[in-house]
Amino acid sequence: MKKAINYLAAASLLIMASCGNNETEETAVVEPVKATYSVNTTESVLNWKGKKLYSEDSHAGTLMFSEGSITVEDSVITAANFTVDLNTMATTDSIPEEKKGYLIGHLKAADFFAVDSLGANVTLSVTSLENNTLKGALTVMGVSKDIEISVNTVVSAEKITINGTFDVDMAQFGVKFLQQPAADAKLTDEEKQNVYDPKVYFTVNVVANVDAAPATVETTEESK
């Protein structure tokens, strides 16, 4: 009888220990810290350069952003949208003012970017940033193409800066004057003087400021 009682006591202890081991610990779920930034349209600029294919002739200038936003999670850029206004196009060429006006008018006309008929907005919708490469869709003259841009980014609680250089083949967007001649075309020296490089070369400098400080959850220890 004494042995039976001892056996039952030991079994009860095992059962209690087993029940205690089945208790699960609660794991805290940490939500990512999200923030949005707006492009500073005064400090941000897109520098451009276009040139001819068979000579050193070139033109250069600037474009300004009309708007833009960047989404960040835990200090990592996860999405962004930028809009550049072709009506802000200016040239930095060392040429007389009247020739600058003619050049910009020509670039906005139907031969190039057809601003009057197709609108002045060029947009970039960024879907990811991986290994210093922005990936997204660039829309020019109503035509969208996938694009990758190598950039350097700095993200802080108050500001984001994005800098990089890249080129875009504008022939794929249907820009009339930037279509390359057929590979077998035999051009005279005079004809070559009017052939443009279909690529436009860009340097981008974006500054964006945080819209509002991200919300934080404060925790306090209760005195025991």
Where do runs of H (alpha helix) occur along 71-202? 97-108, 115-118, 189-192
Least confident of 48-57, 129-138, 206-215: 206-215
Contact 99, 127 (CB under 8 A): no
Predicted confidence band of residue 212 (pLDDT cuts 50, 70, 90):
confident
- Top pLDDT among 12 and 177 is at 177
Mean pLDDT of the 202-221 span:
72
Question: Would the pTM of this model clear 0.85, i.e. be above it?
Answer: no
Report the DSSP beta bridge partners of residue 65.
Answer: 84
Could you tell me which of 204, 48, 22 has the C-alpha nearest to residue 126? 204
Identity of residue 43: E
Query: What is the predicted pLDDT for the residue at 214?
Result: 52
92-130 tens-digit pLDDT: 999 999 999 999 999 999 999 999 999 999 999 999 999
Q: For the chain, give every domain's residue range.
A: 34-210
What is the C-alpha separation between 70 and 156, in angstroms, rounded? 13
Predicted confidence band of residue 24 (pLDDT cuts 50, 70, 90):
low
3-class state of residue 16 by DSSP = helix
Report the DSSP beta bridge partners of residue 200.
Answer: 168
Number of H helices, E strands in the chain: 4, 10
Please, what CATH class does the domain formed by 34-210 belong to? mainly beta
Could you tell me which of 55, 82, 51, 43 has the C-alpha nearest to residue 161? 43
Percent of the chain with pLDDT over 70: 80
In angstroms, the Cα distances linking 132 to 70, 129, 149, 188 are 15, 6, 8, 43
Mean pLDDT of the 204-221 span:
70
Could you tell me which of 138, 158, 165 has the C-alpha nearest to residue 72? 158
What is the C-alpha separation between 25 and 17, in angstroms, rounded? 16
